[in-house]
Structure 1
Amino acid sequence: MSEIIKPTLIAARRSTMLFFLVSGLGTASWAPMVPYTKDRLAFNDANLGLLLLMLGTGALVIMPVTGILIHKFGSKKTILVASFLIAIILPLLLIMNTPVTMGATLFSFGAAIGAIGVAMNAQAIQIERHYTQHIMSSFHGLYSLGGILGPLFIGGMIKSGLSPLIAACVVSVLLLIIALSQYHYLLPEQPVTEDQEKVKFSWPGSTVIFLGLMCFVVFLAEGSILDWSAVFLKDIKNFDPAIAGIGYAAFSIAMTAMRLLGDKFVDKLQPKKIVCFGSLISATGFIVAVTSPWGWLSLAGFTLVGLGAANIVPVFFSAAGKLKNVPAAVSLPAVTTMGYAGSLAGPAGIGLIAYFSSLPIALCCIALLLLVVSVSYYFKKF
């Protein structure tokens, strides 16, 4: 660690971790609001599915543009503005009562999530450059923690008697407090070198595309657990519908815990081993979940998926931000966009495969893709 700016660096790391928490908490707080939105708009499942695409579309549209915003205004200001937008828009998701206004609001919410996703990773990479060890996993651990706490906060407040709108406003105030109190501790943008300026807006190279494709697969695996684990446990393993969500809970807890501890593992094993072994463990988890004759072992399989995949994306983002002659403002938006596309389009593809074959076969296809990640990353030279 750079001793000259050690206190500043520690404060910047803490504040950036809290902005990762803001992103995870804000994003996950939307999940408990979905049923209320469906009832308010009197939507059927098909209409709701189309509406939900607006969130992902907003994120995908803004992510490539965020590199330009970071170049022009810096990641620090981009993080602050995106945090404010998330906090302001969150309660509006419970107010809009027409499909058009709801779709536009959800698109804007997704855009804010996409912008902070790129900008906070750019800030994290800038901080990591001053450390002698890997620290990226801890940032993503706070995002995962926010993903667990969001539904618990909203659900707990509603259960205690607060209206969903008031509960959302409470979370928004919390997000604003964190943003306002932590903004000044973020690092200012580093000067852009002449070589970086020349390639600032060039088309991403083959290494960036490779990392993006690898991210696509891992995000696909994570998204499939979110969208399909409950269906799999209920329809294939005969779980009670009331507890079928336990598969995603096991996955999420395992991923959060491993990310919070992951920096030490990455330092000891090195990033390449983390990706290769992590992909193998996740692939094994899918196979165990599918082939197990016992429900508890299927849950163990989903836990393995979370343990193995936890630190792969942080390694990819860290690698993207450290590529020679490719500034983070080019590599990060590209890798993030391709990865996020996997979390959106992937589960839909899994549904298509399941329709023409079966859900277990579809999940086995993800295991195969993870094996491809393991082998291809092993032979890739950076």
Structure 2
Amino acid sequence: MARPTATPDGSEQRIPDPRRTRPAILLAFLIQGTVSGTFASRVPWLREHDHLDEGSLGLALFALALGGLAAPLLGRRAVRRLSGPRGTACLLIGFACSLALPVLAANLFLLCAGCVAYGAAGALSDVAINAQGVAAEKRRGRSMMSGFHGAWSVGALLGSGAGAIAAAEDIDARVHFAATALVVIPLAMMTIPGLLERSGEGESGKTRQISLPSRPILLIGLIGFCAMFAEGGVAGWCAVFQTTVTGAGDGAAAVTYSAFAIAMAVGRLSGDRVVRVLGRTGAVRVSGVLGTAGCLLVVTSRSSLVCGFGFCLVGLGVAVVVPLAFAAAGRAGPTPADGAAGLVTVTYVAGLAAPAAIGQIADHGSLPIAFLLTTALVAAIPLGAGLLDDPARRT
């Protein structure tokens, strides 16, 4: 169980049992991924229930991304204060409860407002769990972030799978989301005994409420941007690519996304082991080469099977890059929460830009041409691999 220890100012700080820390953080990432997958799986219900056309739905999803982008940028002090055990649990519970806001909206304005709140809650809980992961890595002195993000991927698969079953059984999304929140609340409370107290490092000076990411975090964020752009672009367009370019059926297209998501989960769950063998820089370089090879297969092949294999290679290739970017940003920031908040801001920009950019290029050319942009960005990842290593080991 957790034990108190004296701090330099004479107060007591709770130190959790090290054996509970990793399972607690894994559970926090699993919860966050499950809530994200749950919402994504019921977007079709939202569109049908509210009679939304493509423009209205696009506006609502843009509002979601805007909330996720703005929250870490505008709420730096709140992020620091809520990155401890109880704050992290409360943010996870708030994220689950915010599922209700979009589906209970009575008009488009309220729907967009609900999506902004849901996106903000997701981003703040994302910062908190990543700050916990960075702090755990520092304490253990070994790579752990890839496994934590692997738990997020597993949670997203569980949430989307449960959502698919609920949709098939014609269960109202409002009932589905309420049940999800009721499950999340006790699970989030279970993480508190194992989570780490927020770091006080760097808090002696004044903290601005609105703060842009620092130059080192922006440089690290460029690598995370490339990986997140590929992840968002493939997730949004791989099924469409299969049906329109290779002529695959709807079933094969759906399987392609599932295979991509599973490849990412496998890559992340095994990523810490790879990092221990190759080092952070070596792992990122190998990942970039794998991802680039996958992109080239997608761009050049017109076989559904080969394209599907290419998308899986992309998933394996970018799987460890974002977790390692979060770890590097947490080490580069004055506190883990500051670093994670800065990187969340950058990666949300990538997630917002990728589907739109690919769609615009495809509209004026073709999807294979659009994926050349993804190929170029993934090919740039090995060039900046050293930025994600420990500062003392960077060359």
| TM-score of the alignment, normalized to the shorter chain, above 0.5 | yes
- CA–CA distance in structure 2, aligned partners of residues 376 and 257 of structure 1: 24
Partner of 2:139: helix, strand, or coil? coil
1:109-120 to 2 correspondences below 5 Å: 109-120=118-129
Matched, 1:361 2:365: no
Q: What letter is aligned with 1:336?
A: V
Secondary structure of 1:322's partner? helix
Aligned 1:156-175 pairs, distance under 5 A:
156-160=165-169, 162-175=171-184
User: In structure 1, what is the equivalent of residue 161 of structure 2?
Assistant: 152
Assess if the C-alpha contact under 8 Å between 1:36 and 1:94 holds in 2: no
Distance 2:74 2:212 in 1: 13
Partners of 2:159 and 2:205 lie apart in 1 by: 42
**Number of equivalences:** 376
Report the more deviating stretch, 181-190 or 21-30. 181-190
| Residues 236-275 of structure 1 deviation map (CA, whole Å, 9 limit, x = unaligned) | 0001124312222111001101211111111111001111
Asked if the contact 1:78–1:115 (Cα under 8 Å) also holds between the matched residues in 2, the reply is no
Partners of 2:16 and 2:194 within 8 A in 1? no
CA distance in 2, matches of 1:221, 1:72: 32
Q: Hey, what's the Cα distance between the residues in 2 that align with 1:73 and 1:146?
A: 22
Which of 355, 378, 384 matches 1:347? 355
Tell me the CA shift for residue 63 of structure 1. 1.7
C-alpha separation between the residues in 1 aligned to 2:166 and 2:308? 29
Moved more, 289-298 or 5-14: 5-14
User: Following superposition of structure 1 onto structure 2, how do residues 122-133 of structure 1 map, counting pairs within 5 Å?
Assistant: 122-133=131-142
Rounded to whole Å, the distance in 1 between the matches of 2:74 and 2:105 is 27
Q: Please provide the CA RMSD for this pair.
A: 2.2
Tell me by how many angstroms 1:212 deviates.
1.0
Q: Write the letter of the residue equivalent to 2:99.
A: L
Alignment map for 1:1-382 (pairs within 5 Å): 8-160=17-169, 162-193=171-202, 197-198=204-205, 201=208, 204-323=213-332, 326-378=334-386, 381=394
Gaps of 5+ in 1: none
Whole-angstrom distance in 2 between the partners of 1:332 and 1:161? 38
Please state how far the C-alpha of 1:320 moved relative to its aligned partner: 1.2
Going from structure 1 to structure 2, the CA distance change for 1:145 and 1:177 (only over 3 Å counts) comes to same
How far, CA to CA, are the matches of 1:199 and 1:246 in structure 2?
51
Q: How many percent identity over aligned positions?
A: 27
Deviation string 1:105-139 (CA, Å, 9 cap, x unpaired) is: 11111111000111110011111111132111111
Contact in 1 for aligned 2:72/2:123 (Cα 8 Å):
yes
Q: CA deviation at 1:154?
A: 2.1
Residue 206 of structure 1 aligns to which amino acid in structure 2? R
Relative distance call for 1:314 and 1:44 in structure 2 (3 A) is same
Shift of 1:346: 1.9
TM-score normalised to the size of structure 2? 0.89
Question: Which one-letter code corresponds to 1:172 in the other structure?
Answer: A
1:50 Cα deviation after fit: 1.0
Contact 2:33/2:153 (8 A) holds in 1:
yes
Stretches of structure 2 lacking an aligned partner (at least 5 in a row): 6-13, 389-393
CA–CA separation in structure 2 for the residues paired with 1:379 and 1:161: 48
TM-score with structure 1 setting the length: 0.92
Superposition deviation, residue 185 in structure 1:
2.2
SS in 2 for 1:279: helix
The DSSP-based 3-state class of the residue aligned with 1:348 is: helix
Q: Is the 8 A contact 1:24 1:143 kept in 2?
A: yes
126-135 or 326-335: bigger deviation: 326-335
Alpha-carbon deviation of 1:347? Answer: 1.7
Tell me, in whole angstroms, the C-alpha distance in 1 between the residues paired with 2:104 and 2:94: 16
